[in-house]
């Protein structure tokens, strides 16, 4: 703890705070994520540490250190100047198709590394994709991630204890949740991440979520309305989903792609059509997606070193600082008492 000088709060997640800090010995700026060790959330932080330690990619946020202090866990990460949502909504930053193509390429490259390391992220969404000061997109927030089970590894977060090869179905933020999760499956694999990536790519173009349900039922209804009622052809094993037969659908055909993805590049429509599929077995994996013609046709992806760079104060610029940060921190986030002492 004493190795770092805490600077300011930069993020607030589901389970804790993210603070910008300076490593005293080097002057290096880092991000520190903290949760109280008594919280259930500490399990997620430990999970995150385990995954980040196993990963080594330019497209995954770098794990630097971790420590415990006064009943809290702290995770030290490389500092990321911005996030994908901030880059997309900043009118001063011009992102054209070649920039978005490079973001897509970086995302697939990070996911390909993650999946090759047998880690499923399980919560891919724009808010968990951060942008470095160099303009590089990196996958963050591994708090819901887990190792893919090989054979008889028991799962500690499983809802359904029948099998040793099932995972909890309560993962992924609703709008990016694959259909098998929406229908309660606990037997899934890395292809749930590929569905989320498809939704993210569409959102990068449209600047609005592709399937924006406000409840689980609404989410299912929106997906079914757009992809059409599942059939033997589009989703052969749908009846194996625990909740599939609990719902009745009126028959509907898929919405034509030019309506669902208006004004999209044809090759991007083709790529999304191979990710946003009911049948998880048919979704492209990240390695295959990297070889899709979308990446080899005009406009070519922008070179990484030419990608737009977020300004240093990007978050502050877009989200004006609350006037009484310290007061609100003291009131709401007791886990930061030690940090405040340091300021
Ligand atoms: P949670 O699990 O609580 O969602 P995240 O890891 O997603 O936690 O972090 C919450 C927010 O904190 C992010 O959306 C981002 O704004 C900020 N944040 C997280 N990690 C970093 C980092 N390494 N550098 C800068 N900001 C970060
Ligand atoms: Mg998050």
For residue range 7-45, list pLDDT tens digits in order: 999 988 777 799 999 999 999 999 999 887 766 677 888
Please enumerate in sequence order all residues whose Cβ is within 8 A of that of 289, keeping only pairs 6 or more positions apart, or say none: 108, 194, 197, 271, 274, 275
**What's the chain's Rg over C-alpha atoms?**
21
153 vs 167: CA distance, rounded Å: 11
Q: Which ligand is nearest to the CA of 11?
A: 1
Helices (H), 79-238: 84-89, 97-116, 179-182, 191-206, 216-227
- Residue 127 CA to ligand 2 center (angstroms) comes to 6
223 vs 25: CA distance, rounded Å: 51
Q: What is the pLDDT of residue 342?
A: 40
pLDDT digits (tens, 9 = 90+) for 290-339: 999 999 999 999 999 999 999 988 987 886 555 444 444 333 333 333 33
Helices (H), 191-294: 191-206, 216-227, 257-260, 266-273, 286-290
Please enumerate in sequence order all residues whose Cβ is within 8 A of that of 149, keeping only pairs 6 or more positions apart, or say none: 155, 164, 165, 167
Determine the topology of domain 82-306 in CATH: Transferase(Phosphotransferase); domain 1 (1.10.510)
26 half-sphere exposure, CB direction, 13 A CA radius: 5
147 vs 137: CA distance, rounded Å: 23
Taking each helix axis from N to C terminus, what angle separates 191-206 and 97-116, rounded to the nearest 10 degrees? 170
Q: Which ligand is nearest to the CA of 12?
A: 1
Q: What is the pLDDT of residue 38?
A: 64
**Is a pLDDT exceeding 90 seen at residue 51?**
yes
Decide if 63 contacts 53 (C-beta within 8 A).
yes
Q: Is the dihedral of CA 42, 47, 50, 52 positive or negative?
A: negative
The protein residue with its alpha carbon nearest to ligand 1, atom 8, reads 13
Tell me if 143 CB under 6 Å of ligand 1.
yes
Taking each helix axis from N to C terminus, what angle separates 266-273 and 191-206, rounded to the nearest 10 degrees? 150
Most informative mutation of 7, 141, 145 for ligand 1 (most atoms within 8 A of CB): 141
Q: What is the pLDDT of residue 150?
A: 66
- The SS3 call for residue 237 is coil
262 vs 17: CA distance, rounded Å: 38
Decide if 254 contacts 227 (C-beta within 8 A).
yes
Tell me if 173 CB under 6 Å of ligand 1.
no
**Is a pLDDT exceeding 60 seen at residue 175?**
yes
Adjacent-strand bridge partners of 17: 12, 34
pLDDT digits (tens, 9 = 90+) for 209-222: 999 999 999 999 99
Q: What is the pLDDT of residue 105?
A: 98
Please tell us whether the domain made up of 4-79 is placed in CATH 3.40.30.10. Answer: no
Please enumerate in sequence order all residues whose Cβ is within 8 A of that of 112, keeping only pairs 6 or more positions apart, or say none: 285, 286, 287, 290
pTM of the model: 0.89
Tell me if 316 CB under 6 Å of ligand 1.
no
The phi, psi pair for 212, rounded to 5°, reads -100, 70
Annotated domain spans of the chain: 4-79, 82-306
263 vs 265: CA distance, rounded Å: 7
């Amino acid at each position: 703890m004493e190795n770092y000088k805490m600077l300011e709060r930069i993020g607030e997640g589901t389970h804790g705070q993210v603070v910008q800090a300076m490593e005293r010995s080097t002057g290096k700026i880092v991000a520190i994520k903290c949760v109280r060790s008594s919280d259930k959330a500490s399990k997620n932080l430990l999970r995150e540490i385990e995954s980040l330690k196993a990963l080594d990619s330019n497209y995954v946020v770098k794990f630097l250190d971790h420590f415990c202090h006064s009943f809290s866990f702290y995770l030290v990460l490389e500092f990321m100047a911005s996030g994908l949502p901030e880059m997309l909504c900043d009118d001063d930053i011009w992102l054209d198709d070649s920039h978005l193509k490079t973001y897509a390429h970086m995302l697939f490259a990070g996911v390909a590394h993650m999946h090759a390391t047998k880690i499923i992220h399980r919560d891919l969404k724009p808010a968990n994709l951060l942008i470095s000061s160099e303009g590089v997109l990196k996958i963050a927030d591994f708090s819901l991630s887990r190792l893919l089970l090989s054979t008889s590894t028991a799962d500690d977060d499983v809802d359904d204890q029948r099998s040793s090869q099932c995972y909890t179905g309560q993962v992924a933020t609703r709008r990016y949740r694959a259909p098998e999760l929406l229908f309660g499956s606990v037997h899934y694999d890395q292809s749930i991440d590929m569905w989320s990536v498809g939704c993210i790519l569409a959102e990068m173009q449209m600047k609005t979520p592709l399937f924006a349900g406000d409840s689980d039922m609404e989410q299912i209804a929106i997906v079914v309305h757009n992809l059409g009622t599942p059939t033997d052809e589009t989703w052969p094993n749908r009846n194996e989903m625990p909740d599939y037969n609990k719902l009745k659908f009126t028959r509907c055909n898929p919405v034509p792609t030019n309506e669902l993805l208006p004004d999209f590049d044809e090759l991007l429509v083709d790529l999304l059509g191979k990710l946003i599929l009911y049948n998880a077995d048919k979704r492209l994996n990240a390695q295959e997606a990297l070889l899709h013609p979308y990446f080899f046709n005009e406009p070519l992806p922008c070179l990484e070193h030419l990608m737009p760079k977020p300004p240093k104060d990007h978050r502050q610029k877009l989200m004006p600082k609350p006037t009484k940060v310290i007061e609100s921190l003291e009131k709401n986030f007791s886990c930061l008492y030690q940090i405040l002492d340091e300021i």
